Structure 1
Amino acid sequence: MFFDGMEKLTVLELNEVRMLQLPPSLANLVNLRMLCLNECQLEDITILKDLKNNLEVLSLRGSDIKALPSEIGQLTQLRLLDLRDCNKLSKIPQGVISNLSRLEELYILDSFVQWEDATANKERSNVSLDELRKLTQLTTLHIHIPNAMLLPKDICFENLIRFIISMGESFDSFEYQSSTRMFKLVGVPFRDEFNVLLERAEVLHLEKVEGLQKVTFPALEQLNIYGLPKLTEIWDRKLPPPESFKELWDLSIWSCKKLVNVGLSNMPRQLPKLRALYVAYCQELKVVVLENGEENEKAENNTNTILFPQLTGLALLHLESLKSFCTSRSERQSLFTSQVAFPALEVLTIWELHNIIEIWDKQILIASEKESKSFCQLKDIEVSNCEKLVQVVQFNMLPRLQNLKKFNVDNCPRMEVIVSEKEKEEGTTTNDIIVFSQLTTLNLFELVSLKSFYNWPTRYEAQPLFNHQVAFPVLEDLKLQKLPNMIEIWDRQLLIASEKESKSFCQLKDMKVSNCEKLVHIVQFNMLPRLQNLKKFNVDNCPRMEAIVSEKEKEEGTPRNDIIMFSQLTTLNLSKLVSLKSFYNWPTRSKAQPLFNQQV
């Protein structure tokens, strides 16, 4: 027999094995303490009852077992039972769970949801949640309860140290973190028994919960507030108990339509470890941080700055009433003023803020020592669907953005420039070079009013997108889509390069140009030496484009037989270019030209 002579075996793992019936010799393993049958094809496991004297750990995780036999209730020495990912499990007989009185760890999650009502006047065939009350030594519980009405009134979670508990709606896969204490309530009336879970939870998801009372959260690390339509404020105007929220680092607020602010100016003191703040779809939110009386009095004397010292990620999405991040006394509606500072911020995402006219107030540039490093760690900016925004950043703000690596601007219909013209100061010139020294990715999409990246002084109405005053020495990915006013990508003056900008665009590897209706060519011949690292080149739906590379400008005494070489190019896509005559517009007497001639 298979297990004969193995009586001293204490641990056995038989994972990913097909065993419709466990071998009878398994009963001989009288000293077995741990048995793992993970991801096995199982039918009859009744024989496990013979291991009742010593078996302490039983894992059936991921197996296809459909019913747990009642004999499992005889394993009274069990300390751990793992039924996670048993997606076919539909029956756990009444009394099995309650018999396992020494159980310390129970893992079920949403593998089993057929809990029966213990109060119903009918004979039950399946387990009820009432049996959990018998597990007085339970310290770890992973369970999903689809109907909280099935939970007994005097259930006690006091002994739980580790838990993943969801009621009403299970955790989505993306919500699972490395945390060992997670609690989710969706559409469930709040009960006093839940207080201990709220206080101990590190990840908390509350959605459509009624009856929530004041409670402290000393261990809470992540807080998700979703779909609370009557919520107007999150925190009391007084500071909560000092032990509450001290560990919170991730705060997400979604679809709270009556919420008017996220917190007061004491918010950084309330949430000293806050690293990520996400606010979306709150229609009446006017400010994120509201100044209260005491703080407002100090602000009048310009003696305080609201500092978020650890915040690295900030997303403000679909906030149609938002006027400013912090209460502003300025008539001009700037998202960020000198009243607030973010010295550690790395990712900034802004979508559909219809009232914002500018992102950074001009006063922020007259920086105090505390805020002089605000935004200096910014690596990723995304601005989308801000209909009143006419530029992203003022020229004088650029020194703070030298760590920027990704820059995305999308669908801002009034935006004319990305960087506004430098304000004239007495004794200064306007020929400064703008260098984005770390920027590797730039996407400009559906900017119907965009005239140029930088609004530099010129006599001409038509401007190239990039002029000689803008440099991108490490840019690798450039995407330009739906820019109807763009007639030229690179200025001819760019080719007369200063030392600072001579390497601009030289690291470009991936370029896509799409739906730019006035563009007649992509690149001038003289620009090609800078594009020798280009690997992917996509041009799509530019109806007036006649050539990808424009003809070389005539220079006295020079021939025109230069060879155009794209030495690194591996992918070239040309699509829907109805006016395209040739890849390179070379001089010829013939009207008909091949796409690729001998000079490419």
Structure 2
Amino acid sequence: MAEKIAFSMVGKIAEYLMEPIGRQFGYLCCYKSNIENHRSQVEKLENIGVGVQLLVDDAKRKGEIVGPDVEAWQTSLNRISEEAKQVVKAKAEVEKGCLNGWCPNLKLRYSLSRKAKKKTKEVVELQADGKFKRVSYPAPLVEIPSTSTGGFKGLQSRISMMKEIIEALKDDKISMIGICGMGGVGKTTMVEEVKTIARNENLFDEVAMTVVSKTPDFFKIQREFADMLGLVLVEDSIQVRAKRLHARLTNGNRILVILDDVWEGIDLREVGVPLTGENKKCKVVLTSRLQRVCSDMEIHNNFIVQVLAEQEAWDLFKEMAGSSVDSTTDLHHIAKEVAKECGGLPIALVTVVKALKNKEKHAWNDALRQLRRSTVTNIPGMHKNVYACVKLSYSRLECDQAKSLLLLCCLFPEDYDIPIEFLVRYGVGLQLFEDVETVEEARDRVYSLVDELRSCYLLLAGEEKFVKLHDVIRDVGISIASKGEQVYMVRHDIGLKEWPEKETYEHYTAISLTSNQMHELPAGLDCPQLKLLQLLDNYTLLNLPRNFFAGLKELRVIGFYRIMIQSTGPLLQFPLINIRTLCLDFCKSLPDLSIIGSFRKLEILSFFKCCLDELPSEIGQLSNLKLLDLRCAQGPAILPPSVLSNLYKLEELYVGGNFSQWKTEENYKGNASIRELNSLSNLNTLSICVPDAELFFMEFTFEKLMRFGISTRSEADMFDQFRFPNSLVLFGLDMSVLLETGIKLLLKRTEILHLKVQGSRNFLNEFDVEGFVNLKELLLRNCADIEYLIDATDLVLDNAFINLESLSLHCMHNLKEICNGNLPAGSFSRLQKMKLSGVRLLKSLWWGSIQPDSLGNLRILHISDSYAMKSLFTPSIVKGLVQLEELKISLCDRMEEIVAKEGGEEKNAGKIEFPKLKLMELHFLTNLKSFYPKSDIQDSENDGDAAMRVLFNQQGNIE
């Protein structure tokens, strides 16, 4: 131990002495200390990771959604931990040396020491990033066509039933409840309301809900329950999973289990849910279209959700239709007849009224005739009125492209989160949007159509980049497609073991299948009209016959997801001359792709999150390619030269962190160079990881970029969203390099900027004299030379940072002021979050005058590690902090007051108020005397802590 400490000290001294000569020799001298420091810092990071994981587990038990920043951080932690293991392994190899250790390998020592030194900086930064304010957020309710625009407002039949269900849940004698009713009557809305009430009124400690659907997938059900309850299920056996889940559900907590959309009786013991009498604290609620399901499962407490009474249905219809159907208008009588035809079904009422609202009288007359003439459908559990109403809403869509997009959504499984980007890529391949020219124009069109379909309640509102279909809408959509030009074969049975056998496949235009038990695709499939083929799996090994694609000559779109393909030859052995979109996302063990060069019409090619050992050089022959997604989970390590430069129509290029070794003058490997990108005259979107940012910005011409995500860090997958904001993450650069490259052109369009730069003193003045009008998030870290964020004495600006929402300044040891001089009017008016740490010279949050609207939206303020700050606010600044909800101050050794008196302020003048403050934390403020000095004379009997306690007691809104 003493030898290790001595060597470490010698290493640090040597590193200090060698620095003027050059840090290169220091890597040798400090070999052991660099390795040891790296190991120590990784260990600290992993300890932080344990704490974060505990918070994540607790959040999942509560059914909350873990924040994407937390998940990204954990991914980075896992990667760094694996890299640290490699460093330890390499160290053991290095120390073997030559001649049984008598001759150390200096080259390998230097390389490993240098790597450890650089990785340690990344580890320390990740430690700081791991201090999350919160790790999760309440799960959003899945919106479905509601029974009214405001939940159950005004619907007395639903309100009274809800009261009965809640009373049943409170009854210790009742352990299982069934809610039955036809499709579209509002069962899912009801259990969503049950879930909300159960949480808000603290009826249960935990709530877990899942959708069962027509073909129950016990693995999926168990996984979703486990995630919500914070239980890790790693066993492959359903039986072992069931035992662990059963133990979790009978651990003494009050737990509500909700099974939505059950079609057949299921044995709850197979899932792991306790049966009646096994545990009175765990209760089960299920919904079903079929009352016999409740009987099969011996559920005696059943609630039958009936259609709305005629008057109640009319009240709902009239509320949504607005004044145009009042008794004083000529539409009143027709509207009442239309409402009657909806049969009292909420989903029918909602979809019809959305289709007809603000339409002329002739449209209402036509709709009424269509509803009366509609024939009975044979869809199981589907009422004819629901079918007729949904079909009417579909037919009333004015845009054929909206109709096509809705039917395209029907190809996905029930309750599936459909990425809107899939619809974009499929739509381009199927040429649904003939009047658009670029992929970005197609993307805008799809998002516009999604908004239109959501406004009609034909698509559910959900997360920004996903859509969902109500199962009723999906069933009607598939039925509509089967009677038109588009004929679908849609099977998403988890138990599907073989390709569905049909007498003929000649009429199908789209096939979409899901299975984790099918191992063989048919040979010589004759499907001459097929335009789209989608296979979704769970990494089952799938044998692809050599002639599978021989009879699919009209195929336009292939979407293979989570497929492990087994093939004796190339993946696609027959030239598919019409193929335009090929997505192999999340796929493993892809076979030979060399034939891809013959797909001359291909426009979209995606390897997102797939395992790709080598990029086929034949891709360079795809002269019509517009989008190339290379953000692979594994590989490729090499991009062949001249491949990218040949793709002269390429508009969007996504390159992940796996490939980062761009060819340079010193690097003569067979890799592509940055300069090749300059030949892509149509390139407007770029997501890329460039460890050598200086090389990138010196060689790449980026004036044409409209969307970009450029990072110098290996976790470039922070940009894996397809509609990511314009982002720059640049670490370890010199100011002179940035200014020489003309990066200001990008900065004007940047929305997210993370920066670690040397040589800059006045940030805004040197980077963007126009005031960063588009910037929404700014993070500066270890920018040791910056003294002012804004120097208003040296710059004439109308405003600055007018759209900034988040500001983080970390380890800014020379920062004197955020703004030197008076803050320009309108600046920081949208700022919601401000975090400052390691700002040791910062004496006050603000010195100059500040406009009333500046900081008016600030909700979160964290200050830590400031040695110079004696106070944080003045009373005039406090008056503008009307939205402040969270205030945290720590490690400010010289701070004496939170709010300081301003010059000329009279004794006891004014009252300090934070009207919306919910949380205030003060830590390690060793010299704090008072929150606000109301009097010049302090009570000698009260120390600072006592004064703070009195102040807290007076401030009722501080928790």
Same fold at TM > 0.5: yes
List alignment gaps of at least 5 residues for structure 1. 1-12, 22-30, 41-57, 64-83, 87-101, 116-127, 171-178, 297-303, 325-332, 423-428, 453-462
Alpha-carbon shift at residue 584 of structure 1 (Å):
1.4
Alpha-carbon shift at residue 539 of structure 1 (Å):
1.0
Secondary structure in 2 matching 1:165: strand
Aligned to 2:659: 282
More strand by share: 1
- Specify whether residues 511 and 130 from structure 1 end up closer, same or farther in structure 2 by C-alpha distance, changes over 3 A only: closer
Residue from 786, 799, 811 that aligns with 1:417: 786
2:558 and 2:835 mapped to 1: Cα distance? 45
Say whether residues 1:36 and 2:375 are aligned partners: no
1:389 and 1:227 mapped to 2: Cα distance? 38
Aligned to 2:749: 377
List alignment gaps of at least 5 residues for structure 2. 1-181, 185-287, 294-373, 384-409, 416-468, 472-484, 541-555, 665-670, 715-729
Residue from 813, 820, 829 that aligns with 1:467: 820
More helix by share: 2
Alpha-carbon shift at residue 480 of structure 1 (Å):
1.0
Secondary structure in 2 matching 1:363: helix
Contact 1:404-1:436 within 8 A present in 2 as well: no
1:419 and 1:253 mapped to 2: Cα distance? 41
Aligned to 2:702: 341
Aligned to 1:270: 649
For 1:382-397, list aligned pairs within 5 A.
382=754, 395-397=765-767
2:869 and 2:680 mapped to 1: Cα distance? 50
> What TM-score, normalized to structure 2?
0.39
Aligned residues: 443
For 1:85-234, list aligned pairs within 5 A.
104-109=487-492, 111-115=493-497, 128-129=498-499, 131=501, 134-146=504-516, 149-155=519-525, 159-167=529-537, 169=539, 182-184=559-561, 186-189=563-566, 190-192=570-572, 196=576, 199-201=579-581, 203-205=583-585, 206-215=587-596, 216=599, 218=601, 220-221=603-604, 223-228=606-611, 230-231=613-614, 233=615
Identity of aligned residues (%): 7
Say whether residues 1:436 and 2:800 are aligned partners: yes
Aligned to 2:404: none
Say whether residues 1:509 and 2:890 are aligned partners: no
1:477 and 1:534 mapped to 2: Cα distance? 9
Residue-by-residue CA offset, 1:204-260 (whole Å, 9 max, x unaligned)? 4254413112422635446234354632x5655x953433x23x3866444425135
1:268 and 1:470 mapped to 2: Cα distance? 48
2:778 and 2:846 mapped to 1: Cα distance? 22
Alpha-carbon shift at residue 513 of structure 1 (Å):
0.7
> What TM-score, normalized to structure 1?
0.58
Say whether residues 1:584 and 2:932 are aligned partners: yes
Contact 2:674-2:699 within 8 A present in 1 as well: no
C-alpha RMSD over aligned residues: 5.0
Residue-by-residue CA offset, 1:369-408 (whole Å, 9 max, x unaligned)? xxx854533333345xx6x767696744314663323124
Alpha-carbon shift at residue 514 of structure 1 (Å):
4.5
Residue from 4, 10, 17 that aligns with 2:289: 17
Aligned to 1:574: 921
Alpha-carbon shift at residue 160 of structure 1 (Å):
1.9
AA paired with 2:494? F
Alpha-carbon shift at residue 263 of structure 1 (Å):
7.6
For 1:492-507, list aligned pairs within 5 A.
492=847, 494-495=848-849, 502=851, 505-507=854-856
Aligned to 1:490: 845
Say whether residues 1:240 and 2:621 are aligned partners: yes
1:334 and 1:444 mapped to 2: Cα distance? 27
Alpha-carbon shift at residue 505 of structure 1 (Å):
2.9
2:884 and 2:499 mapped to 1: Cα distance? 60
AA paired with 2:379? C
For 1:310-389, list aligned pairs within 5 A.
310-311=684-685, 314-316=686-688, 322-324=691-693, 333=694, 335-337=696-698, 339-343=700-704, 345=706, 348=709, 350=711, 352=713, 356-358=732-734, 361-365=738-742, 374-382=746-754
Secondary structure in 1 matching 2:820: coil
Contact 2:629-2:654 within 8 A present in 1 as well: yes
AA paired with 1:378? T
- Specify whether residues 397 and 522 from structure 1 end up closer, same or farther in structure 2 by C-alpha distance, changes over 3 A only: same
Residue-by-residue CA offset, 1:274-330 (whole Å, 9 max, x unaligned)? 2x73523436456897256xx79xxxxxxx78666632xx5445x6xx213xxxxxx
1:561 and 1:464 mapped to 2: Cα distance? 29
Contact 2:648-2:681 within 8 A present in 1 as well: no
- Specify whether residues 355 and 413 from structure 1 end up closer, same or farther in structure 2 by C-alpha distance, changes over 3 A only: closer
Alpha-carbon shift at residue 551 of structure 1 (Å):
2.5
Say whether residues 1:407 and 2:750 are aligned partners: no
- Specify whether residues 230 and 548 from structure 1 end up closer, same or farther in structure 2 by C-alpha distance, changes over 3 A only: farther
AA paired with 2:838? L
2:499 and 2:513 mapped to 1: Cα distance? 10
For 1:62-81, list aligned pairs within 5 A.
none
Contact 1:207-1:225 within 8 A present in 2 as well: no
1:17 and 1:197 mapped to 2: Cα distance? 46
Residue-by-residue CA offset, 1:43-62 (whole Å, 9 max, x unaligned)? xxxxxxxxxxxxxxx99x86
Contact 1:537-1:572 within 8 A present in 2 as well: yes
